[in-house]
Amino acid sequence: MSPFALPRRTVSLRSLLLVAALLFVLGGCGKPRNVVQLLPDPNGHVGVVSVTTKGGSAELTRAGCAVRVADAKSAPTPPEDLTEAESEALFGAARRAMPEQPVRFLLYFESESTKLVPDSLRQLPEVVAAARARNSLDISVVGHSDRAGSVEYNIELSRRRAAYVRTLLVKAGIAAEGMEITSHGSGNPLVQSTKPHEPRNRRVEVTVR
């Protein structure tokens, strides 16, 4: 047996390992784990996001497609589909922690008053149910008015409308501390109207988060 046999065998073992490592990387197990994936939104609509590095930019426009980024200097890879298993491994925990979409209610008022129109009064239990179902600790109650009357009067009227809705919600058992009331007066109309009296602008918007 040659005295060189042992070292030579060691070398070939080492190169075998090297080849194995290379195959591992080329086989995809070493793909960069810096990944951005686009999904349909809760209404099924698919948007667009762009991913930009110092080396270039890629656009995601198709549901489920993703790009990878190796480092800050390289351009993102062309968009590709991710397997469900890889998407789960990368983003599963974050996806499961996604809050439910907030829900918004529009409650309408009689002219120059804090009296709810009958339909809106009947809708109130729906608001309460949504707040309970979501166990909500963050509810915005924003008062609005139409353009009849002075700016100051309308800010005050909107504030009273919002405060009235809060009172009704608190009476129904919703915690007051998670609720914020704001008054926008006539400055943030739902519809642009030439008439100063516009029933659709006499409203309180309740957002349950």
Minimum Å distance from CB 136 to another protein?
9
In the list 4, 26, 83, 96, the residue contacting another protein (rule: CB under 8 A) is: 96
199 touching another protein, by CB under 8 A: no
Minimum Å distance from CB 140 to another protein?
8
CA distance readout (Å), 10 to 3, 19, 130:
13, 14, 70
85 touching another protein, by CB under 8 A: no
Smaller CB distance to another protein: residue 49 or 129? Answer: 49
41 touching another protein, by CB under 8 A: yes
Q: What six digits make up the tokens of 65?
A: 């497609």
In the list 7, 27, 42, 78, the residue contacting another protein (rule: CB under 8 A) is: 42
Minimum Å distance from CB 62 to another protein?
12
15 touching another protein, by CB under 8 A: no
175-181, Cβ contacts within 8 angstroms, sequence gap of 24 or more: 175/137, 177/137, 178/136, 178/137, 178/138, 178/139, 179/139, 179/140, 179/141, 180/139, 180/140, 180/141, 181/141, 181/142, 181/143
Please give the Cα distance from 77 to 163 (Å, whole number): 53
91 touching another protein, by CB under 8 A: yes
H helix or E strand, kind and range, residue 49: strand 49-53
151 touching another protein, by CB under 8 A: no
Smaller CB distance to another protein: residue 64 or 117? Answer: 64
Amino acid at 201: N
In the chain, the N- to C-terminal Cα span, in Å, equals: 79
In the list 14, 95, 115, 195, the residue contacting another protein (rule: CB under 8 A) is: 95
H helix or E strand, kind and range, residue 18: helix 5-24
Write out the residues near another protein by the rule CB under 8 A: 32-42, 45, 47-53, 60, 69, 71-72, 76, 87, 90-102, 137-138, 140, 178, 184, 187-188, 207, 209
